[in-house]
Amino acid sequence: MSGHGTPIPMTSQKCGPLKGTANVPGDKSISHRALILGAMAVGETKITGLLEGQDVLDTGRAMQALGAEVVRHGAGEWSVHGVGVGGFREPEQVIDCGNSGTGVRLIMGAVATHGFATTFTGDASLNKRPMGRVTDPLALFGAQAVGRSGERLPLTLVGTDTPTPVEYATPVPSAQVKSAVLLAGINAPGKTVVVEKEATRDHTERMLRGFGAEVVVEEVAEGHKITLTGQPELTPQEVAVPRDPSSAAFPVCAALIVEGSEILVPGVSQNTTRNGLYTTLVEMGADITFENPREEGGEPVADLRVRHSQLKGIEVPPERAASMIDEYPILSVVAAFAEGKTVMTGVKELRVKECDRIDAMARGLEACGVTVDETEDSMTVHGCGPDGVAGGATCATFIDHRIAMSFLVCGMASQEPISVDDGSPIATSFPVFEKLMRGLGAQISSQGD
Ligand code: S3P
């Protein structure tokens, strides 16, 4: 079964101004999808800028186990020789998705409409996360799942080779659930329909179109309706993965709270299903200029010039949650350095991420001297002002990369250093985090440095 490596304690301390350019790695969501759709097309898909984080590498290995050929040619340069729609073969071994909820849920969708069984597992974090949200709609196609209690991994999904197309309204705002249904729908005859109340990240829809599938998106009374025509011929593509706005959030937020900082973060997505954090930061008073707007890898992007700013607490509207769901941990750090309170509502999905992110941030921030109120669905951070966060604590990261990076950023501007018990999960999404942040002037050290 998947393990989780030796913990790597890390420490971050107050530093001088952050300066320079932060070239963050490729988008994690888009990287997973490029490998999976590449594996479902006939012929060679070429990918540049692929995120070489552990989560994505695990998805690449899974595609190989299902019969595709996945080859690395150089840094971020990969090719996938796909097997065509309906062409996956039964894997010989258990598919281990490590820490990745996106990996496992999307792959479950992709295999659900193939007539064989696949067993999935992951690390201690992933094996606690709910899979019923994906296996329920996949059952409508005819796939059957048997997992541990609460539909948790390890889990075996027996796919069907006589799928019926499905019309499904997602009960939670989740791009993973939407994508799992669409990926299953690729190998189902007829039209598969997903309706979501609030629009979640739309990379699957965009990339499906790019590979030649027919995808129609409409605004209807119930929300956002996506219709996919099944069993298309997917044509291999050249996919240029844009940079990850969720990774960009860490240097951006660090520059906002470290006095005297000014940095440039090129190529940050302005896709409205991903950019809620940036809207929120501007409302808090952040000095961010959006330069050189353009398109990269099919996504609207801009270069962000970010300067240290005096920030004020705000109420983040709940309807914005889906567009910044991965950014609440780092936003709660920024909120700690603002004047006044920041209220985040409609965020209960944070409780089922790599860890319970509301709880993890509240406990860690409290240990650093910040007052946090939480309810099942909300988190309120009482700002301490630019110099008011005490720090001086060791925060638990619960095998969660974003919790680890958030507290390391917090330590860059707190009075006393902040340590994390385990920074090793950072490698799942942002393997060059420490190097990149040090290059800007951060003082981060890992055990063993
Ligand atoms: C993702 C969707 C989100 C997000 C995750 C990536 C994706 O999860 O938190 O990091 O690539 O589809 P949910 O679908 O659970 O909201």
Contact 165, 138 (CB under 8 A): no
429 within 8 A of 244, measured Cβ to Cβ: yes
Catalytic residue flag (residue 326) = yes
Same fold: 10-26+242-446 with 28-231: yes
Give distance in angstroms: CA of 389 to centre of ligand 1: 30
- DSSP-derived 3-state class of residue 339: strand
Q: What is the position in ligand 1's atom list of the atom closest to the CA of 32? A: 11
Q: What is the pLDDT of residue 447?
A: 82
Please state which of the four CATH numbers 3.65.10.10, 3.40.50.720, 3.40.50.10600, 3.40.640.10 is assigned to the domain occupying 10-26+242-446.
3.65.10.10
Nearest CA to ligand 1 atom 9: 326
pLDDT digits (tens, 9 = 90+) for 213-261: 999 999 999 999 999 999 999 999 999 999 999 999 999 999 999 999 9
Amino acid at the residue 72: R
For the chain, the residue count is: 449
For 105-119, 213-227, 295-309, 312-326, which range has the lowest pLDDT when averaged over its residues? 295-309
- The radius of gyration computed from the CA coordinates of the chain, to the nearest angstrom, equals 21
- Name the residue at shortest CA distance from atom 15 of ligand 1: 174
**Which percentage of the chain shows pLDDT scores above 70?**
99
In the predicted model, what is the mean pLDDT of residues 8-19?
Answer: 98
Q: Supply the pLDDT for residue 448.
A: 61
Which pLDDT does position 3 carry in this prediction?
55
Q: What is the pLDDT of residue 1?
A: 36
Dig out the tokens for 316 from the structure: 């983040």
- Which ligand 1 atom is at minimum distance from the Cα of 176? 14
The stretch 307-316 carries a mean pLDDT of: 98
Cα angle 221, 226, 228; round to 5: 145
Q: What pLDDT is recorded for position 299?
A: 87
Whole-number Å distance, alpha carbon 302 to ligand 1 midpoint, is 22
Q: What is the pLDDT of residues 314-351, one digit of tens each?
A: 999 999 999 999 999 999 999 999 999 999 999 999 99
Q: Is residue 70 scored above 90 in pLDDT?
A: yes
Domain 28-231 grouped into CATH 3.65.10.10: yes
Q: What tens digit of pLDDT does each residue of 174-219 get?
A: 999 999 999 999 999 999 999 999 999 999 999 999 999 999 999 9
Best probe residue, ligand 1, of 33, 36, 106, 176 (max atoms within 8 Å of C-beta): 176
Contact 322, 328 (CB under 8 A): no
CA 410 – CA 438 distance, rounded (Å): 14
Residue-range domain boundaries for the chain = 10-26+242-446, 28-231
- The number of helix segments (H) and strand segments (E) in the chain equals 12, 24
Residues with CB under 6 A from ligand 1: 29, 102, 174-176, 179, 201, 325-326, 349
Tens of pLDDT along 358-382?
999 999 999 999 999 999 999 999 9
pLDDT mean across residues, the chain: 97
CA–centroid distance, residue 102 to ligand 1 (Å)? 6
Taking the CA of residue 33 as reference, the ligand 1 atom at the shortest distance is 11
Question: Containing H/E element for 140?
Answer: helix 132-141
Catalytic residue among 55, 202, 244, 326: 326
User: In 3D, which of 244, 310, 311, 305 has the Cα closest to residue 284?
Assistant: 311
